[in-house]
Chain A
Amino acid sequence: MSPQSLHAPEASPPPDAILNALPHPVIVISDDGEVIYANGAAQVALGGWIAGLPFAEIFPGSDESFERLIARGSALTLASKTHARYRALAGPPSAYGRVLSLFPDESATPAAIADTDELTGLLKRNGLNDGIERALVAEDGGAGRVAIHCIDLDRFKVVNDTLGHGVGDVLLARVAERIRSACRKGDCVARIGGDEFVVVQTGIASPEDAERLAARLVDLIGRTYVLSGHTVNIGASVGVAVAEAGNGPRDMLRNGDLALYEAKRAGRGRFRTFETGMDAALKYRRELEIDLRRALALKQFAVHYQPFVDLRDDRVIGFEALIRWDHPVRGRVPPMDFIPLAEETGLIAKIGEWVLRTACATAATWPEPMTVAVNISPVQFKSDTLVETVVSALAHSGLSPQRLEIEITEGALLEDTVNVLKTLHALQALGVKISMDDFGTGYSSLSYLQKFPFDKIKIDRSFVQGSDEDSEAILKAIASLGLSLGMAITAEGVETPEQLARIRDEQCTHVQGYLTGRPMPADGIHPFLSE
């Protein structure tokens, strides 16, 4: 064989495959101290899909930031959440951050890696790996016959924080007992993190057997506990993975974790079974999240403005601010695709603030008294800095509060209604207008309209565009309701002259839609207005 053939491209496996075949964990830490990559071994050792998490969360043992640690030298000792210790070697700084190779430091952890967990008597991670291995061997490779259940407690932290670690520990022991009681004698059960458990179920005949146990675990762990005279309620999310041919412990734990992640995303307190494609979906979401985190700094967002028209004199009286994300590779990402992720990850706080500030600054350049409407997510309403942020955005831009309109959806009023109402009143007291967005699509509870004196109701486009009698009736009802409550009514999504005529008949006060103007960039507004 000639030396060249060794280097022929077809002969070299893809780098990803090599990284995933490495027996030791490899992670990449970004300059912001976040994990942006974890190979297969790292996922198994450090708790599943850790990309996107801060370094400090993976290695809580050290009081120092990653930057400080690395400043002292490229060889480190690190302790993971589960107290496993690693010797870490860091590569040189690069555009991506730093690559860390981790080697289990067995010398330093004689007791910590003992096989059973003192608190619950369950197996620990090492024992679990052996247990899965054994189950797979005993079941002839395990395909379709062995399942693992990755269990994560919901609201455990609240119990720990409010009732103390003592009660928290008793609760964990109780949970462990309940899990064991749901399993067969020989099945192995492990606790692999603070409030994470894994069950290895053997002898299953069909996927339904695994689902039955998962449902039982969710139900059982979620039942009320009585601990030292306290009533304690927690929940459990469960990710199930049934062994496929050729699976090892690592694959199963990874799949179980992916399914667990889906169970949590679907709202917790439930189980999900791993399906092919979940990893691709999660990978997509993780990458989107990483991009989303950078988008603000890289100035990939823009605000566009869609005019709305007063029907009394057919004049444009303001614009709604709409976020646009233009990604260099993905192209334009629709808000529908990234806003939910931004809300899930909390990124919406920063993004929403940026939109608010940008919109106020832009609107300040418009002729008076033209207004700007800005959408505020329910998540932003939960933070107690919203009013402050609005005050500051107004002050910085010099926009008078009367020219700002805050749009909320019914979702904002669903939870914690009292505090949300307080915030709304505070905003209204500033002089800011408040409108109810997308009315008619969600719960459309009329009681919301009664709870707060909205300045405006925006009727969802589906009723405007629907030409059936029901839409018509709903449109009419909402409009007359608004009229009698003294609220302005905007019909959204008006696209044709016929729709506009109908809107006029129904006594809507404003329209917004392609017919009266598409969203435009900030610099398109002055030309548009002078037309």
Chain B
Amino acid sequence: MSLYQLVYYSRNAIAGDASVFEAEVDAILAASRRNNEAAGITGALLFNAGVFAQVLEGPLAAVEATFERIQQDERHGDVSLLALEPIAQRSFSNWAMGFVGHSAENAQRFAAIGLTRGFDPARLGGHKMHAILRDLTLEEEAAAA
């Protein structure tokens, strides 16, 4: 079964104050935990107040089904697909999610999510597309502020 990797970023459309943002991030985390492992999906989801950026990898059918669900999600919009390609092997051994941004407040608020999942954005630098994604995420946070 061939493996595929899909990379996108999107605009955060969660309206409301910090607590709403936190609750929605928790909900996304919960859904992802519930679904990804079972579907054989690994990857990473980076987020801040401005954007989401995600790498999904796994069997094509699972990637497509997961992406289709995510596409229908009203919590974000303007989804730009950056890559969809077959890969020889996974870049991520599990699924992770973490806050990437300069906002100290959000960094603290979401620290636990990254930690519990062993998330280290710096590790993303190993892959060109992932490095681009990380930099993009940082720029967009600034633009949204």
- Which residues of A are at the interface with B, using a C-beta cutoff of 8 A? 174, 177-178, 181, 216, 219-220, 223-229, 231
Contact = CB atoms under 8 A, between A and B. Distances in A.
B79 A174 contact: no
A181 B68 CA distance: 12
B11 to A, nearest CB: 12
Nearest to A230: B84
B35 interface: no
B64 A224 contact: no
B72 A224 contact: no
B107 interface: no
B89 interface: no
B77 interface: yes
Contacts of A228: 60, 64
Contacts of A177: 68
B21 interface: no
Given A174-B68, A181-B72, A229 B77 contact: no
B61 to A, nearest CB: 9
A231 B68 contact: no
Nearest to A223: B71
B81 interface: yes
B77 A219 contact: yes
Contacts, number: 31
A412 B63 CA distance: 42
A178 B71 CA distance: 9
B6 to A, nearest CB: 7
Contact of A178 (B6, B72, B79): B72
Question: Size band of the B side of the interface?
Answer: 10 to 19
B72 A229 contact: no
Contacts of A181: 72
Output the residue of A220, A224, A226, A227 with the most chain B CB within 10 A: A226
A229 B84 contact: yes
A253 B68 CA distance: 30
Contacts of A229: 4, 60, 84, 86
Nearest to A216: B74
A232 B117 CA distance: 33
Contact of A220 (B6, B72, B84): B72
A217 to B, nearest CB: 12
Interface in B117-132: none
12 contacts: A177-B68, A178-B72, A181-B72, A219-B77, A224-B79, A226-B6, A226-B84, A228-B64, A229-B60, A229-B84, A229-B86, A231-B84
B77 A226 contact: no
A229 B60 CA distance: 7
Interface in B29-75: 60, 63-64, 67-68, 71-72, 74
B81 A231 contact: yes
A226 B7 CA distance: 12
Contact of B64 (A178, A223, A227): A227
Contact of B81 (A216, A219, A224, A227): A224
Contacts of B71: 223-225
A226 B68 contact: yes
A223 B67 CA distance: 11
Contacts of B84: 226, 229, 231
A223 B79 contact: yes
B63 A226 contact: yes
A226 B64 contact: yes
A225 B79 CA distance: 11
A223 B10 CA distance: 11
Contacts of A224: 71, 79, 81
Interface in B63-119: 63-64, 67-68, 71-72, 74, 77, 79, 81, 84, 86
Given A224-B81, A226-B64, 11 more contacts: A177-B68, A219-B77, A223-B72, A223-B79, A224-B71, A225-B71, A226-B6, A227-B64, A228-B64, A229-B4, A229-B84
A14 to B, nearest CB: 49
A422 to B, nearest CB: 31
B43 to A, nearest CB: 14
